[in-house]
């Protein structure tokens, strides 16, 4: 059975690129375009990993991560935060809220796929 990945990002070009990369890696993919949709899909789709943008409409990625990690049904989902916000304070905040890793945009596609495989135990 293919591992499941939820992409939570509001930028159409990034979503298209990430979706292509993840499908090429043999993963089952769903898309959320805002924070609330990410939480709703996380509960319904039960992904193994969420690629979570920090800056999204409504709930931001930090809020989504915090809610995921505090929910007993969803806390096991791995979270890889993706953001243009790459200062140490943002990275530290994401990790403190429970993210498994944090990659800044722009990112190397090779690095991203490698990190996804690592987080999924592949």
User: How would you write the pLDDT of the chain (122 residues) with one tens digit per residue?
Assistant: 799 999 999 999 999 999 999 999 999 999 999 999 999 999 999 999 999 999 999 999 999 999 999 999 999 999 999 988 778 898 899 999 999 999 998 889 999 999 999 999 97
Which domains, from first to last, does the chain contain?
Answer: 4-116 (3.40.50.2300)
Whether residue 112 has a cis bond before it, omega within 30° of 0? no
Report how far Cα 117 is from the mean position of its chain's Cα atoms: 13
What's the 3-state SS for 5-33?
Answer: EEEECCCHHHHHHHHHHHHHCCCEEEEEC
């Amino acid at each position: 059975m293919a591992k499941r990945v939820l992409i939570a990002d509001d930028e159409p070009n990034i979503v298209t690129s990430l979706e292509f990369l993840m499908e090429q890696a043999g993963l089952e993919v769903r898309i959320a375009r805002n924070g609330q949709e990410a939480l709703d899909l996380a509960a319904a789709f039960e992904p193994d990993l969420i690629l979570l943008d920090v800056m999204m409409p409504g709930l931001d990625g930090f809020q989504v991560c915090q809610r995921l990690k505090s929910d007993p049904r969803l806390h096991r989902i791995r979270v890889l935060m993706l953001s243009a916000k790459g200062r140490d304070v943002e990275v530290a905040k994401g990790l403190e809220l429970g993210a498994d890793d944090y990659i800044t945009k722009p990112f190397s596609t090779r690095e991203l796929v490698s990190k996804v495989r690592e987080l999924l135990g592949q």
